[in-house]
Amino acid sequence: MSKIQRGVSLYSFQEELFLGRMSVEDCVAFASSIGANGIEILPEQNMPEFPNVTDADVARWQDMLARHGAHFTCYDMFLDTKLRKDSLLSDDEQVDSIVRDIKLASRLGIRNMRVLVFVRPDILARCVPFAEQYDVHLGVEVHAPWHLEHAWILRTIEEADRLGTRHLGILPDMGIFMKHYPPAFRARFERQGARPEVAQFIVDQHEAKIMCEYTIYEVAVKMGGNKAEVAMAETLRHAPFANPKRIGDYAPYFRHIQAKFYEMNEDCTDPAIAYDEVIPELVKCGWEGTLSSEYEGNRWIQDVHEVDSREQVRRQHVMFERLISQAEAKYGAKETV
Amino acid sequence: MFDKYLIDPATVRNTGPADAPTGFAFEAKLGYYRGLTLSMIEELAVTLDGTELPRDALQFDEGAGPIALDAMETAYDRRWAFGTPATILVSHPGGLGTGEHKLGLRQKLRVSYLPFPAFNTDEKTVSAA
C-alpha cells in the first residue's frame, strides 16, 4: 500500500455546501467513492453547532464516516484575534482558543491540525504541551505568498527544533507550487475587461518567473492597465513557484498536505500547479501522509459556469493515482522519513 | 467568493400591517466559507434603489432574535453559520412599495488573518411578495 494516502477537504465542496446542493454526507460519500476516504474538516464551516459540539454530535460524525468507510485526517482551525472591535485577543486568550480546538480535534479522533499561517510561533510554542498531551500535530499552513523557505515559516520550524517536539511543524498548501498561471484566473479577468494582449503579457511574465513588482508596474503604469488588468497583475504577488526539490528537506515537519487546485483539464492534468514535480519528490523521500484535495476554483468560474466540484476533485484524484504509481515505479517504496 | 448568492430575492416581504407596512425583510447568507461570531460582522449596509438606508433602521436575526447592528458588535455568543440564511429586518415606513426595486447588501467582515476588512456585495431586483 502506498504511503501517500488520498483524501479531500470539505472546503472543496464549498459551492455546493453553501447553496445546500450537497450535504456533508454527500461529500463524504463522494470522496469515498473515488478512493479519497481521508476527510479534512473545517468545523467552523461544517459543524453548525460549533463551538458547542456535543458528544452526540461527535458520535453522529463518526458513525457517518464509518458508514462510508471514511476517516478524519485534519482539522482546520481558525483564530479570531479580532473577535473584539477595539482590542486584539490577549496571548492567553489566543492559547485558550487553540487549546479548545486541540481538545475538539482529539474528541473527533483527528491527529492533524491546520494552523492558520498568521498565528505567531511563540503562541504555538505555548500550545505544544497540549498538542503532545492530546497527540495532535500543529501544522502551520504554508500558503502562498509564503513558501517553504520563507523566513516566517522558518521561525515555526526553528521553534519546533528548539522544543524538540514532533507535534509542531508545517502543513504545505500546494498553491506554493504554481508553475503556470491558472487559465481560470486569466479567463475571468478577460471577462472583466482585461485585454487579451495584456493578459498574455502577464501570463508570459509569470511563465518567465519575473518578479511580480516589475510586471505590476509595467501593466499599471507603462501599459495604462485597466482595473481588471491591474488586478490580474496583482495576483502575481500570490503566485509563487517554490522549488519542489526542497520538499525532502522539510518532509519531517509535515504529515498532511492541502492539495490546492483551481481547475483540472479534461485529461486529468493540472494546468497550473506542478504536481508532476511535487509528487515524485514526496515519493522519493518516503513521505507518509495524506494528499487532501482543496478545490478553490468555484470563485473563478461561478460568474459564467455551473460549478461541479465533484468532477474537478475526481479528475485531481485520477492524476494523483497516476503520478503516485509512476513515482513509486521509479523510486520504489522508501522508509518513512 | 459567494457575492452573487447573498440575497435570496424570493424571501423579500413587507412587514407590519398589510395596509400600512412599517418596513421590509429578506433573507441573506454570509459571504464567507465558514461561520462567524456576530461581533465580527462590522457592517451590514442595505441599499434600496441606490440609496443606503440608515444603519439604525436595520436589525439582524440568525434565529436567536432580532438584534440591532450596534448590539451585534458585542454579540460574542451568537454566530452566523456557514451557508445558513439569516433575516435582515429593515424599518422603512410604507415598506417596499409596488413594483420592482433594486435591493443591495454590503457585508464588511473583520477576518482576523486578513490585513484588511473583507467586503461582500450583492444586488438583486426584487418585489415584495
pLDDT tens digits, B59-116: 999 999 999 999 999 999 999 999 999 999 999 999 999 999 999 999 999 999 999 9
Say what the pLDDT of residue A334 is: 60
Name residue A38's beta-bridge partners: A7, A71
Say what the pLDDT of residue A40 is: 98
Q: Which candidate from A20, A48, A85 shows the least CB-CB separation from B73?
A: A85
CB contact under 8 A, B40 and A82: yes
CB contact under 8 A, B35 and A84: no
Q: Which residues of B touch A48 (CB under 8 A)?
A: 35, 81-82, 84
Q: Which candidate from B2, B35, B76 shows the least CB-CB separation from A44?
A: B35
Cβ contacts of residue A236 below 8 Å, gap of 6+? A202, A205, A206, A212, A215, A216
Q: Which residues of B touch A18 (CB under 8 A)?
A: 2, 5, 29, 33, 82-83
In Å, how far is B5's CA from the nearest CA of chain A? Answer: 8
**Dihedral angle computed from the Cα positions of residues A122, A123, A124 and A125, in that order, rounded to the nearest 10 degrees:** 50
Instruction: List per-block mean pLDDT (blocks of 10 residues) for chain A, which spans 337 residues.
Output: 92 98 98 98 97 97 98 98 97 98 98 98 98 98 96 98 98 98 98 98 98 98 97 97 97 98 98 98 97 97 95 98 96 65
What is the distance in angstroms between the CA of the first residue and the CA of the last residue of chain A? 16
**CATH assignment, A4-178+240-331:** 3.20.20.150
What ranges in chain A are assigned the alpha helix state H?
14-18, 24-33, 43-46, 55-67, 91-107, 121-134, 151-163, 183-191, 196-207, 212-217, 227-234, 247-250, 275-284, 298-301, 309-331
User: Which of A323, A168, A335, A327 minimizes the C-alpha distance to A254?
Assistant: A168
Q: A52-85 in b/e burial notation, b at 16+ Cβ within 10 A? A: ebeeebeeebeebbeebebbbbbbbbbbbbbbbe
Express each pLDDT in A173-187 by its tens digit.
Answer: 999 999 999 999 999
CB contact under 8 A, A17 and B82: yes
CB contact under 8 A, A19 and B5: yes
CB contact under 8 A, A303 and B4: yes
CB contact under 8 A, B39 and A50: no
HEC secondary structure over A276-337:
HHHHHHHHHCCCCEEEEEEECCHHHHCCCCCCCHHHHHHHHHHHHHHHHHHHHHHHCCCCCC
Domain boundaries defined on chain A: 4-178+240-331, 183-237
In Å, how far is B19's CA from the nearest CA of chain A? Answer: 35
Cβ contacts of residue A260 below 8 Å, gap of 6+? A173, A174, A175, A273, A294, A296
Which set of grid coordinates corresponds to residue A182? 491558472
User: Which of A221, A184, A210 minimizes the C-alpha distance to A199?
Assistant: A184
DSSP strand pairing (B41-48 vs B36-37): unpaired
Cα–Cα dist A184/B44, whole Å: 31
Express each pLDDT in B9-24 by its tens digit.
Answer: 999 999 999 999 999 9
Say what the pLDDT of residue A332 is: 81
Q: Which of B76, B77, B112, B120 to mutate to test the interface with A (most CBs of A within 10 A)?
A: B112
pTM, full prediction = 0.96
CB contact under 8 A, A78 and B33: no
B45 touches chain A (CB under 8 A): no
Say what the pLDDT of residue A311 is: 98
Say what the pLDDT of residue B45 is: 98
User: Which of B98, B21, B92 minimizes the C-alpha distance to B59?
Assistant: B92
Distance of CA A299 to the CA centre of its chain: 16
Which set of grid coordinates corresponds to residue A23? 450535504
Q: Which candidate from B5, B83, B113 shows the least CB-CB separation from A118?
A: B113
B71 touches chain A (CB under 8 A): no
**CATH assignment, B3-126:** 2.60.40
Residue of chain B with shortest Cα separation from A82: B112
Which set of grid coordinates corresponds to residue B76? 460574542
